[in-house]
Amino acid sequence: MSQDVKLLAVDTSCDESCAAVFDVAEWRLMSDAVHSHVDAMARYGGVVPEIASREHVRGLPLAVQEACEKAGVALKDIDWFVVTNRPGLIGALLVGVAYVKALAFALGKPFSVLNHIEAHLFSPLITARDETQKAPPPFPWIALVVSGGHTELFHVKGAQDWKWLGGTLDDAAGEAFDKVGKLLKMPYPAGPLIDRWVREKATDEHRKRHAFPRAKVEGLQFSYSGLKTAVALHLQSVGELDDERKLAVCASAQEAILDPLVDKVRLAMKQYDCRNAVVTGGVACNSRLRAKLPEAYFPAPRHCTDNAAMVAVLGALHSQEGLLQPAPWNVSAQAHMD
Ligand code: KG4
Ligand code: ZN
Q: How far apart are CA 329 and CA 105, in angstroms?
A: 9
Distance 244 CA to ligand 2 centre (A): 32
| Pocket flag, ligand 1, residue 189 (CB < 6 Å) | yes
Nearest atom, ligand 1, residue 88 CA = 7
Q: What is the Cα–Cα distance from 231 to 252, expressed in whole angstroms?
A: 10
Give yes or no for residue 337 having a pLDDT over 90.
no
- For the stretch 57-78, pLDDT in tens is 999 999 999 999 999 999 999 9
Give burial (CB, 10 Å; 0-12/13-18/19+) of 36. Answer: middle
Which of 80-89, 255-264, 324-333 has the least mean pLDDT?
324-333
Distance from C-alpha of 41 to C-alpha of 298, rounded to nearest angstrom: 27
Helix or strand (DSSP H, E) at 302 = helix 301-304
Q: pLDDT confidence of 160, banded at 50, 70, 90?
A: confident
pLDDT at 316: 95
Ligand 1 pocket check for 191: Cβ under 6 Å: yes
* Stretch 114-125: mean pLDDT: 95
- Does the CB atom of residue 14 touch ligand 1 within 6 A? yes
CA of 215 to the centre of ligand 1 (A): 21
Q: Which residues, other chains included, contact 326 with Cβ-Cβ below 8 Å and sequence gap of 6+? A: 110, 111, 112
Compute the distance from residue 282 Cα to the ligand 2 centre, in Å: 7
Quick check: bond before 189 cis, omega within 30? yes
Express as a percent the part of the chain with pLDDT over 70: 94
The region, left, alpha or beta by phi > 0 then psi within -120 to 50, assigned to residue 277 is: beta
CA nearest neighbour of 29 among 307, 322, 246 = 307
Q: How far apart are CA 246 and CA 244, in angstroms?
A: 5
Collapsing DSSP to helix, strand or coil, 332 comes out as coil
The pLDDT value given to residue 336:
56
Q: Per-residue pLDDT for 326 more than 90?
A: no
